Amino acid sequence: MSAQASATNSDSLETAAKPTENETSTQHIIRSDRAFGWRDKIGYAFGDLGNCFILGLVNSFLMIYYTNVLGIAGATVGLLFLLARFIDAFADITVGRLTDTSKLTSEGRFRPWIRKMKYPFLAGAILLFVPIVNQFPMGVKMVYIFFTYIFYGIFQSAINIPYGSMASAISADPNDRTSLSTFRSIGSALGGGLTGFFIPIFMYATTDTGKRIVSGNHFFIIALVCAGLAYVSYLFTYHLSYERVQVEKTKPVKLTTVLKGIGKNRALIALVFADVLLVINQILAGTTTTYLFNDYFRSPAAMSVAMLFTYATVILLAPFATYLTNHFGKKEASVTALFIATGLYLIMFFMHTHNEWLFLAMLFIATLGAGLFNLMVWAFITDVIDYHQVVTGLREDGTVYGLNSFARKCGQALAGGIGGIMLSVIGYKASAAGGVAQSAAVVNRIYGLATLLPAVCVGVAAVILLLWYPLTKSKTQENTKILKERDAKEAD
């Protein structure tokens, strides 16, 4: 539903009631006073750029800060992260529900959350790295890190869920949403790549004896810089993005009604299962790749190249995302790419090569296969939100997005535990004194984990999307047409 198609008179706003069993519960508003364009794409990209300035810092470096600066045991930190991720997951659902039930303003429904919640979120990120905490007694440290990390996680949900949900409000056109998903992924890759490259350069200090140590003071400065960059990014998102598809809730929708609607949303359920599997694969791939190149190939140079693949694939695939969607459809293109990736992982498993560069070449192509879904996943969610509206008559952007985010965080929590358990199961020996030589059996098992595990995760996700996910290219176009016709009928 383009802005031009929705304009039926000279007014910039069109309002009509839904012709469904919930016709007194919602009021659909289509803004046509600004066409979708580059401002929206760039503004939306800045949102995940800002997110990843903070997430890149916290997700990749908070553990080493806790262990090497605050002196907290790694097992304790791991338990904290596991508990916090589950709390965050429930926070995602809660915030999603709150955004759907909050009052629609002239700014839209989601942009006000970004405007307001960036302050406590960025403050929470800075509080994680306050240097004076290192002087606290251990008991006080534990209390401090627990409450500040939970505080940070809750307000991360308060800004990330509205931001993610906003894509379906910026435009109703599937091609526009694919562009938004692509630009979001580019913003994420840039934010993650920049933090991953620069933070290791600045996080160390040199003592009087010439020893390099992780510096709490340096981390505090890094946190301030990342928060400042994120703040500017959120300003761009707020001012450049524009909500055109708006729904005013004129009567509260009962939670039981929403839950029944979710039970009918086959597309959402299938996407959740596939997405969780691919999130688990992505996290475990980061773990297994490190051990594979450290212990099996023993090639730090090849490891560095492999670690760049996640970001490189996004940049390489981005120009082709809209073309693939227009010609094949999101489901069709993603399923094909996932099956290709599965085949390559299986070939690598049976080849059992010791040539790291041959392995890297095949890994790169396999990563492209899984990366295409990751590039389009946010557009998948907006299609699912439309499908939810077609099936139930309810527009629940935040709730649907929050539920998928809840599942992703549960997958992240599970992956964090699975990685450590599998290393123990294969007999990997840890050493705090610089590492020990692993047996030939163990390093071969590492190779098996690094190839067979992603083959299973990616392959099962492909089967789920193929057989269970109903939103083919034609079905997505049909849903868009249905919603257009409803709006046209209501406007007459």
Range with lowest mean pLDDT among 53-67, 98-112, 120-134, 425-439: 425-439
Residue-range domains of the chain with CATH = 1-252 (1.20.1250.20), 256-492 (1.20.1250.20)
Question: What distance in Å separates the CA atoms of residue 295 and residue 257, rounded to the nearest whole number?
Answer: 53
At 436 the pLDDT is 60
pLDDT-derived band at 21, boundaries 50, 70, 90: very low
Question: What distance in Å separates the CA atoms of residue 250 and residue 27, rounded to the nearest whole number?
Answer: 7
Whether the Cβ atoms of residue 264 and residue 392 lie closer than 8 Å to each other: yes
Q: pLDDT tens digit string along 437-483?
A: 788 898 999 999 999 999 999 999 999 999 999 999 999 989 988 88
Question: What distance in Å separates the CA atoms of residue 308 and residue 9, rounded to the nearest whole number?
Answer: 51
Backbone angles phi, psi at 129, to 5 degrees: -120, 25
Q: Give the ranges where 203-265 is alpha helix by DSSP (H).
A: 216-240, 255-264
Backbone angles phi, psi at 437, to 5 degrees: -75, 130
pLDDT above 70 as % of the chain: 87
**Which residue, among 219, 221, 238, 261, has the nearest Cα to 50 in the 3D structure?**
238
- Read out DSSP for 295-338? IIS--HHHHHHHHHHHHHHHHHHGGGHHHHHHHT-HHHHHHHHH
Compute the Cα dihedral for 63, 64, 67, 70 and give only its sign: negative
CA 16, distance to chain mean position in Å, is: 34
Query: 220-223: long-range contacts (C-beta < 8 A, 24 or more apart)?
Result: 220/126, 220/129, 220/130, 220/131, 222/57, 222/129, 223/57, 223/125, 223/126, 223/128, 223/129
At 416 the pLDDT is 62
Report CA-CA distances (Å) from 331 to 347, 463, 464.
24, 11, 11
At 101 the pLDDT is 79
Mean pLDDT of 402-423: 77
**b or e along 410-433 (b: 16 or more beta carbons within 10 Å of the residue's beta carbon)?**
bbbbbbbebbeebbeebebeeeee
**b or e along 44-80 (b: 16 or more beta carbons within 10 Å of the residue's beta carbon)?**
bbbbbbbbbbbbbbbeebbbebbeebbebeeeebeeb
Hey, which of 94-108, 152-166, 193-207 has the most confident mean pLDDT?
152-166
**b or e along 281-308 (b: 16 or more beta carbons within 10 Å of the residue's beta carbon)?**
bbbbbebbbebbbbbbbebeebbebbee
Token pair 């459809």: residue: 329
Q: What angle do CA 256, 262, 265 make, to 5 degrees?
A: 150
SS3 state at 172: coil
pLDDT exceeds 60 at position 18? no
Edge-to-edge strands, sheet with 245-249: 13-17, 26-31, 245-249
Q: What is the DSSP letter of 253?
A: P
Whether the Cβ atoms of residue 337 and residue 324 lie closer than 8 Å to each other: no
Position with higher pLDDT, 289 vs 365 = 365
At 15 the pLDDT is 35
Report CA-CA distances (Å) from 165 to 84, 108, 442.
22, 12, 44
Structure tokens at 274: 């596939």
SS3 state at 208: coil
Q: What angle do CA 178, 46, 158 make, to 5 degrees?
A: 90
Hey, which of 130-144, 169-183, 243-257 has the most confident mean pLDDT?
130-144
At 430 the pLDDT is 55
At 19 the pLDDT is 41
At 263 the pLDDT is 84
pLDDT-derived band at 268, boundaries 50, 70, 90: very high
Give the contacts of 124 (CB within 8 A, at least 6 positions apart). 148, 151, 152, 155, 156
pLDDT exceeds 70 at position 209? yes
- Read out DSSP for 89-118? HHHHHHHHHHHHHSPPBTTBSSHHHHHHHH
